[in-house]
């Protein structure tokens, strides 16, 4: 393998590994979503570029370049949608959370969020 490909693939695999460590160790859903979407998006893109460098054929560059472009476009969207759904479904936040700008804007799931959230019918700061 060429040096460039080795470095790129190693960087990508390391980033995916870091993402999985973050998903395992972080305290709540939103921080895990942060770790997962950032590190896997960039990590997989870098890894695929490294594979394309090593394969080197026009077809390989086309397929992997398309995959990298789609990856870079779709990963942030998927992470955002998933984190938003998690917040709306009432996933408990980490007790060290300092700011929560969406607090009170959604009717949240009473079963999960009673200890962290205001009551379910709190109209929120924007409704006054």
Partner 1 sequence: MTPLDLMLGALGLAFGLAMVRVLRGPTIADRALAGDVALYAVIGAVALLALRQDAPPFLDVVLVATLLGFLASVALSLLIGRERR
Query: Is residue 116 near partner 1 by the rule CB under 8 A?
Result: no
- Selected from 2, 4, 58, 66, the binder of partner 1 by CB under 8 A is 66
Structure tokens at 22: 């973050």
Total Cβ atoms within 10 A of residue 110: 12
Rounded to 10°, the helix 3-25/29-55 angle is 160
**SS3 label, residue 110:** helix
By the criterion CB under 8 A, which residues form the site for partner 1?
1, 6, 9-10, 12-14, 16-17, 19-21, 23-24, 29, 32-33, 36, 40, 43-44, 47-48, 51, 54-55, 57, 59-60, 63-64, 66-67, 70-71, 74-75, 77-78, 81-86, 88-92, 107-109, 112
């Amino acid at each position: 393998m060429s040096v460039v490909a080795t470095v790129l693939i190693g960087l990508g695999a390391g980033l995916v590994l870091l993402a999985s460590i973050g998903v395992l160790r972080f305290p709540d859903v939103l921080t895990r979503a942060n770790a997962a979407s950032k590190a896997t998006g960039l990590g997989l893109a870098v890894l695929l570029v490294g594979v394309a460098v090593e394969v080197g054929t026009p077809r390989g560059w086309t397929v992997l370049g398309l995959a990298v472009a789609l990856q870079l476009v779709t990963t942030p969207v998927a992470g955002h949608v998933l984190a938003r759904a998690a917040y709306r479904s009432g996933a408990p936040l980490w007790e060290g959370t300092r700011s929560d700008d969406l607090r009170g804007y959604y009717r949240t799931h009473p079963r999960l969020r009673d200890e962290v959230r205001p009551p379910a019918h709190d109209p929120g700061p924007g409704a006054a």
